[in-house]
Chain A
Amino acid sequence: MAHISLKNMLRPGFVGRSFKSGCRFQRHWDTPMASAFFCGETGAGLFILSMLLDFLPGILLGLVITGVGKTFFHLTHMGAPHKSWRAILRPDRSWVSRGLWGIIFFVGFGVIHVMGELFGVLPAAFEMPVFLLALAGAMVVIVYQGFAMSHSTAISLWSSGLMPVASLLYGLLAGASLVMMFAASGFAVADEGRLAVVATAEPLLIVAVAMVLLSLLHGAKHGSKGAQQSYELLTRDFLAQPFLLGVLGVGVILPLLILLLAPAGFITTAVATGAILFGFYLFRVVIFKAGVLDPILNPANGFFR
């Protein structure tokens, strides 16, 4: 991994790329992929909530974040971006492929929906199907990355059913916080009643995210050797500061305190939204960097005399 120094790769318990048996960092999915995941989930979360609230600026921003941001970072990550269209070919078995179909549906039908809203070009009979197809695409986009990670049995930290749950909750939380930010900025997001529902859901989503994060840590602590190394990295080693202070402190505790205790207003909403998005992005980066492969040959399997 580009940003993990040689010192970190060869820290106790790790063997880097040397010819020794031991734990190794996954080094193939890095910051561009984390950024793509962040954009996908944030954009889809904002889109879903904005669609349900019928809030056009949020729908547009969600489409741009996913359609432009996520696509850009994915292409940056790809080794052969000119062939990336081929990723549509295996939706029967690959979550990456399913995700690409989700993006196509989400952005494609999302744009058609926006065109219909803005210019009235969509016949009335097609409005609901387009709305539902765009929403279905966004639902796929918001969870598929978690499924793609949880499918990786190689990295025990990721190989958890909590990954898609984390993706869904974080995406909805980012979307809800951005919607509240729009409302605090003076946009007519929705009527008071529906906005109150989002405002109530936001701290609940933060609590749910916190529970998922702690459950991930708990699973890693009691998992395989690679998972235990990931737990050590996240709680005591060089990733402890970004995870405990950044993801949990700034991304979870700070916005929760602000939302529960501080008076509602533009500044407090902006700070809470910034903290949530910062913590979410850091979560994506840190969870990639903490990905550790189990030792290829395990002493438990009797390979050592």
Chain B
Amino acid sequence: MTSYGMVFDIKRCIGCNACTVACKQENSLPDGMFFTRTLSAESGEYPNVSRTYLPTICNHCEDAPCERVCPSGATYTRDDGIVMVDGTKCIGCGSCAVACPYDMRTKVEPDLIRNGLFGDGNLTPFEEQGYSRFECGTFTKCDFCSERVDAGKDPACVATCPTNARIFGDLDDPDSKASRLIRERMGRQPLPEKNTRPKVFYID
């Protein structure tokens, strides 16, 4: 059975945030909304200081707390392991947002959708086309670009990454590149103590 997941190679990530921009473009995300972000973290003390870039995304957890707490059935998991949100069913209660340990849920603020980027209510043709997919007041998140995945393509952030720091693949297939990397380079999951069994792994 297919179980899609993603691997982040921290050694390769240069913090350019091209993935962030590609995601915003692919999903027509309004100002202030992100499905993926590359965080930076400094460690050490002068003169031995280093900065690490840490790409983050919805972890499409096997035991997704957002799905568990959703009272309306808007959040569900596809057969291929991608956790989806049906905006037409979401009531905007925010239970998923406070249940997600990774802070990966984002609210579709009505003002952003109605007023557009320039705030005057005149949406650009790009906004008019893109915002029609959102339901105002609901919560949404990354869906691994499910439409692209269904068409046999990689998610937009993976396709864009200039350093191949993001690797997408079937974690149930032991021969997939993602599975091999996790196995060979001891992939680690974010906040494993939360017992959500994320399908996103970090290697360095």
CA distance A303 to B202 in the complex (A): 8
Question: Nearest-CB distance from A298 to chain B (Å)?
Answer: 6
Instruction: Provide the A41-84 mask, 1 if CB < 8 A to any CB of B, else 0.
Output: 00000000000000000000000000000000000011111011
Q: A79 touches which one: B65, B137, B195 (CB < 8 A)?
A: B137
Contact A28 B191 (CB under 8 A): no
Which of A19-27, A106-114, A116-124, A233-241 sits within the interface? A19-27
* A21: chain B residues within 8 A (beta carbon): 39-41, 54
* A89: chain B residues within 8 A (beta carbon): 71-73
CA distance A294 to B138 in the complex (A): 24
CA distance A13 to B41 in the complex (A): 12
Question: Nearest-CB distance from B18 to chain A (Å)?
Answer: 13
* B93: chain A residues within 8 A (beta carbon): 77-79, 84, 87, 96
CA distance A93 to B74 in the complex (A): 13
Contact B92 A86 (CB under 8 A): no
With A19-B38, A296-B39 already in contact, the answer to whether A83 and B72 are too (CB < 8 A) is yes
- A97 contacts partner chain B, Cβ-Cβ < 8 Å: yes
Which of A149-157, A179-187, A194-202 sits within the interface? A149-157
Interface residues on B, range: 35 or more
Q: Which residue of A lies closest to B110 (CB)?
A: A79
Contact A291 B103 (CB under 8 A): no
Question: Nearest-CB distance from A51 to chain B (Å)?
Answer: 27
CA distance A97 to B138 in the complex (A): 17
- A304 contacts partner chain B, Cβ-Cβ < 8 Å: yes
Majority DSSP secondary structure for residues of B touching A: loop
Which of B94-102, B157-165, B167-175 sits within the interface? B94-102
Q: Which of B123-152 contact A (CB under 8 A)?
A: 135-139
* A155: chain B residues within 8 A (beta carbon): 98
Instruction: Provide the B56-79 mask, 1 if CB < 8 A to any CB of A, else 0.
Output: 100000000100111111100000
- B3 contacts partner chain A, Cβ-Cβ < 8 Å: no
* A80: chain B residues within 8 A (beta carbon): 90-92, 135-138
Q: A78 touches which one: B135, B137, B196 (CB < 8 A)?
A: B137
Instruction: Provide the A288-305 mask, 1 if CB < 8 A to any CB of B, else 0.
Output: 000101101111011111
- B10 contacts partner chain A, Cβ-Cβ < 8 Å: yes
CA distance A63 to B31 in the complex (A): 43
Contact A90 B70 (CB under 8 A): yes
* B107: chain A residues within 8 A (beta carbon): 28, 79
- B190 contacts partner chain A, Cβ-Cβ < 8 Å: yes
A-B interface contact total, Cβ < 8 Å: 160
CA distance A158 to B194 in the complex (A): 13
- B80 contacts partner chain A, Cβ-Cβ < 8 Å: no
Could you tell me how many residues of chain A have their Cβ less than 8 Å away from some Cβ of chain B? 48
Instruction: Provide the A145-168 mask, 1 if CB < 8 A to any CB of B, else 0.
Output: 000100111110010000000000
CA distance A89 to B75 in the complex (A): 12
Contact A296 B190 (CB under 8 A): yes
* B192: chain A residues within 8 A (beta carbon): 301
Contact B95 A153 (CB under 8 A): no
Contact B191 A296 (CB under 8 A): yes
Instruction: Provide the A251-282 mask, 1 if CB < 8 A to any CB of B, else 0.
Output: 00000000000000000000000000000000
- A131 contacts partner chain B, Cβ-Cβ < 8 Å: no
Contact B91 A26 (CB under 8 A): no
* B40: chain A residues within 8 A (beta carbon): 19-21
CA distance A89 to B97 in the complex (A): 19
Contact A86 B103 (CB under 8 A): no
A–B Cβ pairs within 8 angstroms, 23 of them: A17-B32, A21-B40, A24-B103, A29-B94, A79-B94, A83-B72, A83-B90, A86-B89, A94-B69, A94-B95, A151-B65, A154-B99, A154-B100, A296-B54, A297-B190, A298-B190, A298-B191, A301-B188, A301-B190, A301-B192, A302-B188, A303-B202, A303-B204
Chain B positions within 8 Å of A, measured between CB atoms, are 10, 17, 32, 37-41, 43, 50, 52, 54, 56, 65, 68-74, 89-95, 97-103, 105, 107-108, 135-139, 188, 190-196, 202, 204
8 A-B pairs closest in CB distance: A79-B92, A79-B137, A86-B72, A28-B94, A97-B71, A154-B101, A96-B71, A21-B41
